[in-house]
């Protein structure tokens, strides 16, 4: 694609996000979403002035210099100063390559401190992100609208305690605690992300109690709570599409229903927010993964900045058990 053609695509993409640039509650979002914005294999995310470019194909890699030049040329229309540009290689590599080193971003422009990271705001929740290391940065930008919708529900829900399964950096909990939910427990199979969840609590002025950050397999923790008779009013169930650990292979389509039947034991008569992140699972399939007695109260896909030409990939619903 010629450089000027890409620059005009980027300008259009930025214009489409004009409202987000003016949103005082959020300063991180997707600026360019692959095919949806006209160039398959490229995403550009905006993190409070820091720009993360990710390429998923050799074709986009060959255009990278022009892409970076276009970003700098268009950045005056970002309505805020461009602080840095980072580039991450997201091409699929077969075999047992060291993905962590492959995924390490290169800082190609401006000032970015790997040590400090960046603090961003989504729906008025602060999150510390790492734009250099790993596949994900610490915040799921595509969940912004779903979290936003929950702000109307939380204050009238009567929920006293929530369990955030597959919690990642704890942002569903932080956001819920900020929106009148009194207590949250986080469960994740990564000690690193639980530590980052604690950092996000502190950033938002929330007290950190180690008992609210549980390391381990979510399904094992459901069993433990069920055995102890410990219950919650609300559960977030957002597993990775195919999570693996030594003990189990979790396949969304196969295991979802069974897992939710187990989950309902520790949320009797409560609410559950469930999510499936996969193009290959249709809305009808997503709904059919839920127990028959659950009622769908609210539903959402990925946020609108993830402009998509085809079907949405994210299916997230709030259910009454
Ligand atoms: C899709 S992310 C969750 C994102 C989170 N809901 C959010 O919006 O920020 C999935 C998380 O599940 C964790 N995970 C994977 N397998 C797990 C398991 N068996 N039990 C608990 N956590 C697991 C991963 O470490 C990762 O943090």
Name the closest-CA residue to atom 4, ligand 1.
Answer: 168
126 has a pLDDT exceeding 90: yes
Instruction: Provide the CATH topology of domain 141-320.
Output: Rossmann fold (3.40.50)
207 has a pLDDT exceeding 90: yes
pLDDT given at position 29: 98
CA distance 275 to 252: 10
Angle between helices 3-16 and 64-74 (to 10 degrees): 50
pLDDT given at position 76: 80
Q: Classify residue 1 by burial, with Cβ atoms within 10 Å: 0-12, 13-18, 19+.
A: middle
Residue 245 in contact with ligand 1 by CB distance below 6 A? yes
Closest ligand 1 atom to 250 CA:
19
| Site to substitute for ligand 1 among 239, 245, 249, 313, most atoms within 8 A of C-beta | 239
Residue 237 in contact with ligand 1 by CB distance below 6 A? no
Residue 166 in contact with ligand 1 by CB distance below 6 A? yes
Pick the CATH number of 3-129 from 3.30.910.20, 3.40.605.10, 1.10.357.10, 3.30.750.80: 3.30.750.80
261 has a pLDDT exceeding 90: yes
Percent pLDDT > 90 in the chain is 82
Looking at residue 237, the DSSP 8-state letter turns out to be: E
pLDDT given at position 77: 74
65 has a pLDDT exceeding 70: yes
31 has a pLDDT exceeding 80: yes
244 or 147: whose pLDDT is higher? 147
CA of 188 from ligand 1 middle (Å) equals 6
Residue 238 in contact with ligand 1 by CB distance below 6 A? yes
Residue 86 in contact with ligand 1 by CB distance below 6 A? no
pLDDT given at position 250: 55
CA distance 173 to 152: 16
Mean pLDDT of 21-34: 96
CA of 311 from ligand 1 middle (Å) equals 24
* Beta carbons of 54 and 103 less than 8 angstroms apart: no
pLDDT given at position 246: 46
**What is the overall mean pLDDT for the chain?**
93
Residue 112 in contact with ligand 1 by CB distance below 6 A? no
Name the closest-CA residue to atom 11, ligand 1.
Answer: 166
CA of 282 from ligand 1 middle (Å) equals 21
Using a CB cutoff of 8 Å and minimum separation of 24, what contacts does 107-115 make?
107/132, 108/68, 109/68, 109/72, 109/82, 109/84, 109/85, 110/50, 110/82, 110/83, 110/84, 110/85, 111/83, 111/84, 112/50, 112/83, 112/84, 112/86
Task: Output the pTM of the full model.
Answer: 0.94
Residue 172 in contact with ligand 1 by CB distance below 6 A? yes
Mean pLDDT of 43-69: 96
pLDDT given at position 254: 67
259 has a pLDDT exceeding 70: yes
Domain ranges in the chain? 3-129, 141-320
Residue 201 in contact with ligand 1 by CB distance below 6 A? no
CA of 1 from ligand 1 middle (Å) equals 37
pLDDT given at position 100: 73
CA of 240 from ligand 1 middle (Å) equals 6
pLDDT given at position 280: 84
Residue 256 in contact with ligand 1 by CB distance below 6 A? no
CA of 72 from ligand 1 middle (Å) equals 35
């Amino acid at each position: 694609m010629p450089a000027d053609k890409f620059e005009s695509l980027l300008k259009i993409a930025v214009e489409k996000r004009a409202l987000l640039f003016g949103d005082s509650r959020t300063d991180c979002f997707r600026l360019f979403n692959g095919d949806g914005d006209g160039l398959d294999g490229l995403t550009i995310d905006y993190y409070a002035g820091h720009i993360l470019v990710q390429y998923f194909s050799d074709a986009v890699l060959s255009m990278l210099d022009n892409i970076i030049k276009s970003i700098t040329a268009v950045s005056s229309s970002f309505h805020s100063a461009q602080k840095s540009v980072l580039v991450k290689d997201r091409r699929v590599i077969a075999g047992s390559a060291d993905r962590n080193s492959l995924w390490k971003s290169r800082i190609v422009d401006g000032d970015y401190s790997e040590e400090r990271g960046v603090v961003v705001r989504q729906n008025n929740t602060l999150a510390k992100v790492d734009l250099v290391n790993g596949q994900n940065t610490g915040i799921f930008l595509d969940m912004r609208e779903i979290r936003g919708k929950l702000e109307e529900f939380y204050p009238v829900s009567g929920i006293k305690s929530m369990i955030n399964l597959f919690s990642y950096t704890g942002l569903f909990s932080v956001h819920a605690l900020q929106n009148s939910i009194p207590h949250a427990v986080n469960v994740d199979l990564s000690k690193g992300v639980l530590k980052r969840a604690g950092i996000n609590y502190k950033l938002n002025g929330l007290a950190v109690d180690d008992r609210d950050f549980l390391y381990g397999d979510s399904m094992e923790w459901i069993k433990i709570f069920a055995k102890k008779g410990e219950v919650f009013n609300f559960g977030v169930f957002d597993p990775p599409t195919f999570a693996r650990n030594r003990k189990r292979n979790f396949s969304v389509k196969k295991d979802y229903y069974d897992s939710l039947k187990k989950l309902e034991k520790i949320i009797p008569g409560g609410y559950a927010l469930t999510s499936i992140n996969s193009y290959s699972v249709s809305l009808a399939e997503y709904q059919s993964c839920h127990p028959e007695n659950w009622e769908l109260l609210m539903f959402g896909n990925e946020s609108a900045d993830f402009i998509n030409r085809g079907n949405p990939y994210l299916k997230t619903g709030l259910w009454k058990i």
